[in-house]
């Protein structure tokens, strides 16, 4: 066991006064010749909702298991509340965990399920009753106290699992794909409920999902992972608008990835590139790859607009509309360029602007501030 009080390298309040609850430093997990987790480092602050996001096999669940103490790292350190907990057993980490399959005891009532972690901690009977009912009221299920889990809906069972987790006020709550077994409508409702509970109770949450919409809607920050490595950690808006790698840009939301060659760089971070058929394009942001380097210009479909004869934009490309999809609030359209490359645009269906039509020759454009140029080396 190793849960000694020590001086965590980053154990101090940030400029905003937030307390550091979890610090993972260079965590690595190797299975034989397979590197499941490669040098992962991130922090989690008190009251924060941080999501580990990534495709299957990206290392997010491996990282969660290391934090939970259900697996030991090959290298690196894990600090919880300023204490070194790298090899501490789970029951000494003061963590709560919510699983995808709820993990409720089928032979116990809802009241008994929620009371279980309090009983294990030797809380008095009177105090247990008070805390259990308070937790059930928080998730608005006090009327189910004497039912068995099998008599509840999937959403109700998940809320009971949440109540059982936060009833003893753990330092950090870990959630491993907790909504994965629910249908889309119920998932959407549970996202709102979990987010409200997080705000009302001020709990600290480390959440795992492969669903980017879920992560974007619920998280204060997202830790995006790929092939065992952390690609980028930041607020949802930061990952969406300021991706640091091609993987981030491609994974988060919809993106047009246009192959370009860097022609020049400016001191302000902007750059000029040669795009399809040598067309000159300008980006206000880049990772400053060298002149002549192969790179990728990334622009979101909603930033693409159809240009009329009198319209101007920093960047423009000519093509033919090959697909037009009406999806209620917007049109999605695909433009094929002269070299065969395709880019997608989105346009509100009620904005009154030029409506894309199939097989239409047109010019599309976007502003320099609406794109970013990343070198191919930015792709892991």
Within-domain flag for 5? no
Per residue, what are the HEC states of 336-363?
EECCCCEEEEEEECCCCCCCCCCCCEEE
Domain assignment present for residue 12? The answer is no
pLDDT digits (tens, 9 = 90+) for 87-143: 999 989 999 988 877 788 999 999 999 999 898 888 888 899 999 998 898 888 999
Nearest Cα neighbor of 169 from 216, 210, 209, 127 is 127
65 inside domain = yes
Give 353 or 177, the one with higher predicted confidence.
177
Q: Is residue 4 part of a domain?
A: no
**Pairing of the two strands 294-299 and 371-375:** antiparallel
Residue 13 domain-assigned (yes or no): no
Mean pLDDT score, 363-377: 92
Same domain flag for 54 and 154 = yes
Over the stretch 41-52, which tens digit does the pLDDT of each residue have? Answer: 999 999 999 999
pLDDT given for residue 378 in this prediction: 57
CA contacts within 13 A on the Cβ side of 239: 28
Domain count, the chain: 2
- The DSSP bridge pattern shows strands 315-326 and 361-366 to be antiparallel
Predicted TM-score of the model (pTM): 0.86
Whether residue 50 sits in one domain with residue 179: yes
Count other Cβ atoms within 10 Å, centred on residue 217: 14
The domain containing residue 348 runs over which residues? 254-378
Question: Does one domain contain both 239 and 267?
Answer: no
Same domain, 97 and 191: yes
Query: Which pLDDT band holds residue 2 (cuts at 50, 70, 90)?
Result: very low
H or E stretch including 335? strand 330-337
Residues 100 and 231 both lie in one domain = yes
Please indicate, yes or no, if residue 6 is contained in any of the structural domains. Answer: no
* CATH number of domain containing 34: 3.40.50.300
Query: Is residue 73, in this structure, part of any structural domain at all?
Result: yes
| pLDDT tens figures, 230-289 | 999 999 999 999 999 999 999 999 999 999 999 999 999 899 999 998 999 999 999 888
Q: Is there a single domain that holds both residue 222 and residue 101?
A: yes
Where is pLDDT greater, at 224 or 16?
A: 224
**Do 147 and 296 have their domain in common?**
no
Q: 276: closest CA among 318, 323, 321?
A: 318
Place of tokens 């996202």: 191
pLDDT in tens, 190-215: 888 889 888 888 899 999 999 999 99
Q: Which of residues 197, 222, 244 is at a domain's end?
A: 244
Given 244, 278, 299, the domain boundary residue is 244
Instruction: Look at residue 1 in the predicted model and tell me its pLDDT.
Output: 41
Looking at the structure, tell me whether residues 238 and 303 fall in a common domain.
no
Tell whether 200 and 235 lie within a shared domain.
yes
Comparing CA positions, the residue from 355, 368, 357, 273 lying closest to residue 312 is: 368
Q: Are residues 102 and 201 in the same domain?
A: yes
């Amino acid at each position: 066991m190793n849960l000694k009080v020590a001086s965590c390298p980053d154990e101090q309040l940030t400029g905003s006064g937030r307390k550091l609850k979890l610090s993972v430093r260079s965590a690595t997990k190797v299975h034989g010749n397979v590197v499941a987790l490669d040098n992962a480092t991130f922090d989690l602050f008190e009251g924060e909702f941080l999501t580990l996001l990534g495709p299957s096999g990206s290392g997010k669940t491996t990282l969660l298991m290391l934090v939970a103490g259900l697996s030991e790292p090959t290298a690196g350190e894990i600090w919880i509340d300023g204490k070194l907990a790298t090899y501490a057993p789970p029951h000494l980490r003061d963590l709560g965990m919510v699983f995808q399959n709820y993990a409720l005891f089928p032979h116990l009532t809802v009241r008994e399920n929620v009371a279980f972690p309090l009983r294990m901690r030797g809380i008095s009977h009177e105090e247990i009753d008070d805390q259990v009912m308070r937790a059930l009221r928080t998730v608005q299920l006090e009327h189910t106290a004497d039912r068995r889990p099998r008599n509840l809906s999937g959403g109700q069972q998940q809320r009971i699992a949440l109540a059982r987790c936060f009833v003893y006020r753990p330092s950090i709550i870990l959630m491993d794909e907790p909504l994965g077994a629910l249908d889309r409508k119920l998932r959407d409702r549970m996202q709102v409920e979990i987010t409200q509970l997080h705000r009302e109770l001020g709990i600290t949450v480390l959440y795992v999902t492969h669903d980017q919409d879920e992560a974007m809607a619920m998280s204060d920050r997202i830790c995006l992972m790929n092939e065992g490595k952390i690609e980028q950690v930041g607020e949802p808006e930061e990952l969406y608008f300021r991706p640091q790698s091609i993987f981030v840009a491609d994974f988060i939301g919809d993106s047009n990835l246009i192959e370009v060659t860097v022609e020049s760089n400016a001191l302000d971070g902007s750059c000029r590139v040669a795009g399809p058929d040598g067309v000159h394009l300008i980006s206000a942001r880049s990772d400053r790859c060298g002149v002549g380097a192969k790179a990728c210009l990334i622009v979101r479909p909603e930033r693409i607009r159809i240009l009329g004869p009198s319209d101007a934009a920093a960047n423009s490309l000519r093509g033919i509309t090959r697909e037009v999809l009406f999806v209620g609030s917007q049109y999605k359209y695909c433009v094929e360029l002269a070299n065969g490359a395709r880019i997608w645009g989105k346009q509100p269906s009620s904005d009154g602007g030029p409506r894309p039509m199939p097989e239409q020759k047109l010019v599309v454009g976007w502003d320099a501030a609406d794109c970013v140029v990343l070198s191919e080396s930015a792709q892991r």
